[in-house]
Structure 1
Amino acid sequence: MPTLVHRFVLTGAASEVPPARREIVDKVRAWGVPLDEATADAIRLVASELLTNAVVHGTGPITVVLSGRPGRLVIDVLDGHPAVPRSRCAQADDENGRGLALVRLLATRCAWESVGPGKRVWAEMALPMAVEVGPAEAGPRDLPAIRAKGRVGPKPASPRSAVA
Structure 2
Amino acid sequence: MDHLQRPHFVLALRPVEAAVRAARDTVRAAMAGWNRQDVNGDLELITSELVTNAIRHATTITLVVSLPDDTTAMVEVWDDNPEGPQAPLADLQAESGRGLMLVGALSRSWGWRSTANGKVTWAQTVTP
What TM-score does the superposition give when structure 2 sets the normalisation length? 0.90
CA-based RMSD: 1.4
Partner Cα separation in structure 2 for residue 50 and residue 114 of structure 1: 15
Name the CA distance, whole Å, in 1 between partners of 2:51 and 2:81. 13
Deviation at 1:90, TM superposition (A): 2.2
Equivalent residues, number? 124
Give CA deviations for 1:5-61 in whole Å, capped at 9, x if unaligned: 11110121111211221111111111011x26xx1421111000010001111221x
**Deviations, residues 83-117 of structure 1 (Å, cap 9, x unaligned):** 12100112111011111111011110101011013
Asked whether the equivalents of residues 58 and 83 of structure 1 are also in contact (C-alpha less than 8 Å), the reply is no
Indicate the residue corresponding to 1:67 in structure 2.
66
Gaps of at least 5 residues in structure 2 are: none
1:116 partnered with 2:119: no
* Residue 90 (structure 1) aligns with: 90
User: 5+ unaligned residues in a row in structure 1: which ranges?
Assistant: 129-164
The structure with more radius of gyration: 1
Tell me, yes or no, if structure 1 residue 24 matches structure 2 residue 23. Answer: no
Q: TM-score, normalised by structure 1?
A: 0.71
Q: Secondary structure at the match of 2:22?
A: helix
Q: Does 1:12 align with 2:11?
A: no
Superposed displacement of residue 67, structure 1: 1.2
CA deviation string 1:106-151 (max 9, x = no partner): 11010101101310000011101xxxxxxxxxxxxxxxxxxxxxxx
Tell me what 1:53 maps to: 53
SS of corresponding position for 1:103: helix
Query: Larger relative CO (CA 8 A, sep 6+): 1 or 2?
Result: 2
**4+ residue runs over 4 A deviation:** none
Name the CA distance, whole Å, in 2 between partners of 1:59 and 1:110: 22
Q: Write the distance in 2 (CA, Å) between the matches of 1:5 and 1:40.
A: 21
> Helix, strand or coil: the match of 1:56?
helix
Query: Separation in 1 of the partners of 2:120 and 2:33?
Result: 25
